[in-house]
């Protein structure tokens, strides 16, 4: 990988120096992982997808490439890399994994581990049309701006769940995806 930008270098340093707190022990046993792909440019970008409208779960939602852990996956990092290759044709060997964020629980009952990885600027990706409607890039600096996320408290079965919401261009980013980006923002905040 070529020399990265000063903005990306600062992001990586802060990410590595400020490790997240351990997650609660009461996470679901079904595991999944997503790749949080950061594109190495002078102005780094965050790669996101909009899921195909034909999918059974989370149709049309903005998401990171990812999915359920297969028995053949040696680790959750392998799961995230395999899913990114299946969904948007990112070769696993082109991703420089810098770490993971604490797992989060999805609305479908999975423990989802966000894997943060750096992609080279010249990488070409292509959406698997069966799973992904579109792929887009959000400037990392904008994605990490905490003020862009608004909370919404949802009351379900006597329990309150906080969900984060944000818009970028014509993309509505919410739920687990917005929560992961916000957690990343908090981790690297100065």
Return the pLDDT at 118.
96
Gyration radius from the chain CA atoms: 16
Delimit the domains of the chain by residue range.
6-144
- Is residue 22 scored above 80 in pLDDT? no
- Is residue 24 scored above 70 in pLDDT? no
Q: Are 115 and 34 in contact (CB under 8 A)?
A: yes
Over residues 64-85, mean pLDDT:
94
Return the pLDDT at 10.
85
- Global confidence as pTM: 0.85
Is CATH 3.40.630.10 the classification given to domain 6-144? no
How confident is the model over 42-54, as pLDDT tens digits?
A: 999 999 998 876 7
pLDDT-above-90 percentage for the chain: 46
- Is residue 1 scored above 60 in pLDDT? no
Angle (nearest 5°) at CA 122 between 140 and 33: 55
Q: What is the mean pLDDT of the chain?
A: 86
């Amino acid at each position: 990988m070529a020399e990265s930008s000063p903005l990306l270098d600062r992001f990586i340093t802060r990410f590595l120096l400020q490790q997240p707190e351990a997650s609660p022990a009461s996470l679901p046993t079904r595991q999944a992982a997503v790749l949080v792909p950061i594109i190495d440019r002078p102005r780094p970008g965050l790669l996101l997808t909009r899921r195909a409208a034909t999918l059974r779960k989370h149709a049309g939602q903005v998401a990171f490439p990812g999915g359920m852990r297969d028995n053949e996956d040696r680790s959750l990092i392998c799961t995230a890399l395999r899913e990114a290759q299946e969904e948007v044709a990112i070769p696993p060997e082109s991703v420089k994994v810098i770490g993971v964020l604490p797992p989060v629980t999805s609305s479908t009952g999975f423990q989802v581990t966000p894997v943060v990885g750096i992609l080279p600027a010249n990488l070409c990706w292509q959406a698997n049309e069966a799973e992904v409607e579109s792929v887009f890039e959000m400037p990392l600096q904008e994605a990490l701006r905490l003020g862009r996320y608004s909370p919404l408290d949802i009351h379900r079965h006597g329990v309150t769940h906080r969900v984060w919401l944000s818009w970028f261009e014509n993309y509505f980013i919410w739920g687990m995806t917005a929560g992961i980006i916000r957690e990343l923002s908090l981790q690297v905040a100065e």
